[in-house]
Chain A
Amino acid sequence: MCHQTVSLVQKFCEENYIACSMISIIDEITIKLNPKRFLSVPYSLGFPLGEINQFENQKKIVKQLLKTIQ
């Protein structure tokens, strides 16, 4: 339900003209929720940015997430 919780916040932020994008770990769920933008990542639940303590790799994911907006 994490995907749904953040997707609901996303909906209301977008409706208030704040641009949003979310990480999608389980795309089947994300597609049902239908958020405006998302970045599909090939990781497991609990590891949204991939391997822990891998700052540069995690930063690349954050940068990719930002790029989905523009």
Chain B
Amino acid sequence: MIKINKSKKISHLSFKIKKFLQFYPWKDCAPNQFKSLDKKISDCNVAIVSSAGFVIKNKQKPFDVNDKFGDSSYRVIPSNINSNELEEYQKSNSFDHSGIKSDPFSALPVPHLVDLYNEGFIGSVNPRHISLMGANINTSKLIKKSIPDIVQIFKEDKVDIVLFIPV
């Protein structure tokens, strides 16, 4: 078992990463409009977006880890996926990849949602989830191409709640 360091403060990151993050042009991601949830969680259809860069082994194209601005494409991961079918392509060197490699569902918790559905805590597990590679420096392609597609997928599937799992 891997020992987890209980730290969340930016001050615990390496000097190089801290410097990079200090001058990083962060976007304001506050939504301009939103609606409060108008039904119980136990009636909601739930999907996941993970930034772990998972693809389905031998079926989906790997994320381009050599793209210096970050690969802004996405992959659709079905709910019935097995953990041994997932392969990680996350180019970031700012974290330890061993955890998500050995336990992919720790960053794409689909079986956890299935359990919560079986317990009646949520209404359903959406059949489609989204995998992104989080290390995007140039976000314009992400905003113009991938995000509209992802939103459309969730609207088609009548998703009520999306859970976001950055790594």
- A and B held together in a complex: yes
Q: Give me the interface of A with B, judged by CB distance under 8 Å.
A: 1-29, 32-36, 40-53, 55, 58-59, 62-63, 65-67, 69-70
- Tell me how far the C-beta of A7 lies from the nearest C-beta in chain B, rounded to whole angstroms: 4
List chain B residues, Cβ under 8 A from A63.
Answer: 116, 121
Question: Which of A24, A46, A66 makes the CB contact (< 8 A) with B97?
Answer: A46
Q: Is the CB of B147 within 8 A of A8?
A: yes
List chain A residues, Cβ under 8 A from B143.
Answer: 8, 12
Judged by DSSP, the binding face of B is loop
Interchain residue pairs with CB less than 8 A apart (15)? A2-B166, A2-B167, A9-B147, A14-B34, A18-B160, A22-B164, A23-B164, A25-B8, A26-B10, A33-B28, A44-B5, A47-B2, A47-B99, A47-B106, A53-B106
Q: Give me the interface of B with A, judged by CB distance under 8 Å.
A: 1-2, 4-10, 13, 21, 24, 26-37, 40-41, 44, 46, 49, 51, 70, 92, 94-100, 102-103, 105-107, 109, 111-113, 115-116, 121-122, 130, 132-137, 139, 142-143, 147-148, 150-151, 154-155, 159-167
Question: Which of A9, A11, A45, A51 makes the CB contact (< 8 A) with B94?
Answer: A45
List chain B residues, Cβ under 8 A from A22.
Answer: 163-166
Q: Is the CB of A49 within 8 A of B115?
A: no
Q: Is the CB of B4 within 8 A of A47?
A: yes
Q: A66-B46, A70-B37 are in contact. Are A5 and B166 (CB under 8 A)?
A: yes
